[in-house]
Every structure is written in structure tokens, then in C-alpha cells.
Structure 1
Amino acid sequence: MSLQVVSVIGNATKDAEVRVSKDGVSYVTFRLAVSNSDGTATFYNVLVFGHYGDVIKDHVIRGRQIFVSGRLQVSEKGYVSVVADHIELLARPKPKPEPGPVEEVPEKEEEEEEVKK
């Protein structure tokens, strides 16, 4: 018996995309960045086929933390991807802070006039 299972937790580098293979099969693809202990990152291409892809495509957004379990697949060009069997959507990305109102600083000319008098 053989078994090949890959499990990774990382952050989506951009929103998921729907693509169509040469055979006319639609699938969802996205990339995960996984932080390593030495400060570098490893990037994984993730492929999701069938109904599962339709379900998660709108939920995989840039920055979202995602758990993926599946098997490795090597393309004809030699690219390695994870074909997902199971996906869990974890932490959502933190919203970017909106700039607050700008306070006006009094001009120095008014202060200088008072000093001259």
C-alpha cells in the first residue's frame, strides 16, 4: 500500500482564480506562502477540482490563513502543485487601518506677529 499526503498551513498570496484545463475541466487555483523558521517562505501552488472548488473560490482571499491537505502533482513542465482533498479556512486577513481625520496645525505667522508686538 502507498500513501502520499501533504498538509500545509499558510497565507494566500492573492485571491483564488478559476481556470479551465486543456480537457475543458474547470478548477480553482491559488498560492500559499508558508513561513519557515529561518525567516524565509516556501510557496505552494494549490489546485482544487470539482464542486469543492466552486464552494471555496470566493473565500480564498489574499492574506487569508488556510489549511490544505492533499497530494503532490507534477505537471508536464515540472511544476509541483498540491491537489487539495481538504481545505479549512482559518484566520481572515486583518483589515488595513483607514487614515483618520487630519488635524490642522496653526500657522507660525500668527504666533510670530504676537511676539513682534
Structure 2
Amino acid sequence: MINRVVLVGRITRDVDVRSTQSGVSVVSFTLAVNRNFTSASGEREADFINCVAWRSTADFMKNYVKKGNLLGVDGRIQTRNYEDSDGRTVYITEIVADSVQLLESRNSQPDSQQPSRNRYEDNRQNDAQDELYETAKNLVADDDLPF
């Protein structure tokens, strides 16, 4: 059986990491993913996909991911249900993110407040992230998607 999902989209709000009673970090977030076509009125629509990340991925998102960031998410679809206070069954479908990648350089995120160690290390990190951004931008062009 195969249950694999790869998404590229923008996060809709800043993340808020919570912890379970046993101390495991978890974050829920929504990813806005553009559709590959336009509507009848000529507007590009987006799907808003609910995602959840656990442990170190949740901690990474708390430290580095901000509203509007372009993210690559690799994970799986999970469905679950529960009974609400009115006795109705509520069904939830979400993506469980195994890994999350930032697909933009920090230079394109003006309000980023990442701690810096020194100017040399910052320049090396920025260069690496810029290269990753350019590579991702070339790989994820809308015209190249097969669906």
C-alpha cells in the first residue's frame, strides 16, 4: 500500500506548538496550495489543506516557519473521527507531515528574526538557502506539474 503526499504551498498563519501530556511537541497548520488551473472567471484558486507535525518537525516549525512562508511538505494522509458533544460523529482528514522544508531564502522574508552567530556564518547560510530557493523555484514551476 502507498500513502504518500508531497505539497508545496504557503502557510496561512504563524504556528503555535503545543505539547501532549507526555511532553511530545505537536503543531497543526494550514497550507494554501494553488490549483494548476484558473476558474471560469480567470482567477487562480487554492486548496487549504490541514496538516499536523510532531516532535522535531514541530519544533523546527516553531523556530523557523512564519505566516506566508513557502513550504515543501512530505507526509501521509490520515483520517480519524470522534463524537462531539451533540453526539454527532466528526470526520477529520489531514496530512501528517514527516518533513517540512522552507523553500524561500531568508532574504525574501524581511521580517524574519532568526538569531545570528556571526556575519560570516550568516552569509554562508544565506548563500546555501538562496541556492536551495533557486533550485526549488526551477523544480516547482506551475507549468511543469503533471496534474
- TM-score, structure 2 normalization: 0.57
Give the aligned partner of residue 52 of structure 1: 57
CA RMSD, Structure 1 to Structure 2 (Å): 2.2
Report percent identity of matched pairs: 34
Q: Aligned in 2, Cα 1:80/1:23: closer, same or farther, shift over 3 Å? A: farther
Give the drift of 1:52.
2.2
Q: Choose 1 or 2 for highest CA Rg.
A: 1
> Contact 2:4–2:74 (CA<8 Å) still a contact in 1?
yes
CA distance in 1, matches of 2:55, 2:110: 31
Q: State the number of aligned residues.
A: 95
Which residue type is aligned with residue 16 of structure 1?
V
Q: How does 1:86-101 map to 2 (within 5 A)?
A: 86-91=99-104, 94-95=109-110
Alpha-carbon deviation of 1:58?
2.1
Highest relative contact order (Cα 8 Å, sep 6+), 1 or 2?
1
Q: Which has the higher helix share?
A: 2
> Does the C-alpha gap of structure 1 residues 22 and 63 become closer, same or farther in structure 2, counting only changes over 3 Å?
same
> What are the ranges of 5 or more consecutive residues in structure 1 without an aligned counterpart?
97-117
Cα distance, 1:56 vs structure 2: 2.2
For residues 80 and 46 of structure 1, the distance between their equivalents in structure 2, rounded to whole angstroms, comes to 9
